[in-house]
Amino acid sequence: MNEHLPALAILLPLLSAPFCILVRRRNVALALIIAVCWATFAMTAQLLYRVRVDGPVTYELGGWNAPYGIEYHIDLLSAFVMTFVSGMAAIVASYAPRSIALELDTRQVYLFCTVFLLCMAGLMGIAATGDLFNLFVFIEISSLSTYAMISLGRRRRALMATFQYLIVGTIGATFILIGIGLLYIVTGTLNMGDLAHRLQALDTNRTTLVAFGFLTVGVALKMALFPLHFWLPDAYANAPSAVTSFIASTSTKVSVYVLIRLIYTIFGTGFAYRAEALDAILLPLALLGGLVASLIACYQTDLKRLLAFSSVAQVSYMALGISLGNVAGLSGAIVHLFNHAITKGAMFLAVGAIVFRVRSSRFVDLRGIGRRMPVTSACMVIGGLSLIGVPGTAGFVSKWFLVQGAIDRDLWPAAITLLGSSLLAVVYVWKFVETAYLGRPEEETLRDEAPGPLLVPVLIVTAAILWFGFDSDWSAGIAESAARALLEQGS
Amino acid sequence: MNQVLGLYDYWVVVTLMMVGFYIVIANRNLVKKMIGLSIFQASVLLLYVAAGKVRGGTAPIVPPGADGEVTYSHPLPSVLMLTAIVVGVATMSVALALIVRIKEAYGTIEEDEVLARCEGVE
């Protein structure tokens, strides 16, 4: 049992998905996803503990030896990503029954459960696998189920948003496939560890360079790195609330994980153009993305869209950490994966609770929501403080590492730009505060808090934001040792 | 000259890739966009299969009674592409299902018209 954990954590959600279709009963399917998600979370947590104590775990599927068969290679970074993905899935699954009932036809609920489990299995698989082609397949599993989930949105705009996402996502995935093919042509292997060795032995040639380009652009499309982010706001704003909170907190983060793998594991320091690509392309784009997306967020009139643009900005911070290429920067990127997942998760869950009562997420309709739903609004404000990076919240920890990483490399302009975009975050978070607490609703409403099943998940994740803000030893410790391992591996 | 003739299969791949990509970007009709996307994906299938082909190679099965060396093509890229075809079919069916829903909701599958109607009241 124990040695099969890496495969079980992915197979359990993957195999439970068809069960939801078979039973068709709404309550059974909902109970099943809650049970499966928490069980998976327990397994990944145990896996993370084992990896922390004993070092990386490898699992050979079907018993075929590593470079020939498919291998799951779970190091600290993979286990960390798997744990928070399954954790957020568990929280969202517990939140979904009440939230989805409002936004979805009762007869469709079991289908939602199916795609939710498939999406989760795909995301977990991306983090676990050590085989490049397997990675592509998992990316497509998670993307296809994400399209299906977004198209469940109530407004008809959701359909067009999904279609645009599907086109962009498929182009991104095909770019990744082209990159994998070119690498396979050059090296004759698909195993990531093996690839890294063989690429190091080769001189950098044009084919590897082109492969690097295709892979990076493909992953950048998937993670909505500025200026390839245009699909994200529409998709997030029109999906059902539970779906938005799940994909916003996990899907782009897992793509960032793929970028880290790509740059630090597969193309190690032996790849001659890596430093140039990081400094000349990724770093400026990340800084610009942080500023521009935050600026656009300030002008939004819909809370969901505002948070979606803020996600683009936050992904840019992760890209910034990756491009810095030193321990502090990379740790910042990794810890921000987690911190942003809980921050955005809490905020979108809170938005879902607000939509449950108000039936709208436009600022015009949210005036005075601070008095109507005091607890939910307080959670939104705490999430907002974490987006800004106020000390005592999780967001502060990641910003601290990122600024340190920039200063270590004497990139003062980068550090100042980062702080500048945090100031813009103050502006857009203030927009919510102003509407919620200073705005007067058109008709006076009584206190009308969200129901318990929606409120408890919001409170748990908000508590996590504060917890990991004050006690960052666990999250930042893991991020730092994962970053060190990645940087040593590459050199 | 060798660049053109010796690598002609890759030129086919690149041409198809660009044709497909152009259709996706330039066409406003959603179904035609999907046709472009299909061509784009198909070009990648050819890229892999072309890479696995060995000149004069046969299928990787030892013929009965053969002794000595048999030249055969690399089977793995073709096998990988079987998976990619499945992924492509899945993507296509999700997209076509979406187009049916878009037609029901908006009454058109021209991108400009759909987006113009999005601007209106929901």
Q: Report the complex ipTM.
A: 0.93
Which of A251, A223, A225, A218 has the alpha carbon at shortest distance from A115?
A: A251
Q: Is the pLDDT of residue A78 over 80?
A: yes
Q: Do B44 and A177 touch (CB under 8 A)?
A: yes
The alpha carbon of residue A378 is apart from the nearest alpha carbon of chain B, in Å, by 30
Q: Are A85 and A487 in contact (CB under 8 A)?
A: no
Nearest CA in chain B to A187: B51
With cut-offs at 50, 70 and 90, classify the pLDDT of residue A491. low
Q: Are A249 and A146 in contact (CB under 8 A)?
A: no
Q: Is the pLDDT of residue A369 over 90?
A: no
Q: Do A163 and B44 touch (CB under 8 A)?
A: no
DSSP output for A421-448: HHHHHHHHHHHHHIIIIIPPPSS-----
Mutate to test the interface with A, among B91, B102, B111, B117 (most CBs of A within 10 A): B91
Cα A277 from chain centroid? 23
Q: Is the pLDDT of residue A357 over 90?
A: no
Q: Is the pLDDT of residue A471 over 50?
A: yes
Say yes or no: B10 contacts chain A, CB-CB below 8 A.
no
Q: Do B94 and A178 touch (CB under 8 A)?
A: no
User: Tokens 């709404």 map to which residue?
Assistant: A26
Give the tens place of pLDDT for each residue, A118-171: 999 999 999 999 899 999 999 999 999 999 999 988 888 889 999 999 999 999
- Which pLDDT score is estimated for B26? 92
Query: A402 Cβ partners below 8 Å, 6+ apart?
Result: A317, A320, A321, A324, A328, A329, A332, A333, A336, A418
Give the tens place of pLDDT for each residue, A93-122: 999 888 887 888 888 888 899 999 999 999
- Name the residue among B44, B106, B114 with its Cβ closest to that of A174: B44
Q: Do A148 and B94 touch (CB under 8 A)?
A: yes
Give the tens place of pLDDT for each residue, B67-114: 777 888 888 888 999 999 999 999 999 999 999 999 998 888 888 888
The alpha carbon of residue B26 is apart from the nearest alpha carbon of chain A, in Å, by 13
- Please give the Cα distance from A470 to A466 (Å, whole number): 6
Q: What is the DSSP letter of A267?
A: S
* Mean pLDDT score of chain B: 86
- Please give the Cα distance from A195 to A131 (Å, whole number): 10
- Which pLDDT score is estimated for B122? 46
Structure tokens at B4: 């053109």
- Which pLDDT score is estimated for A315? 92
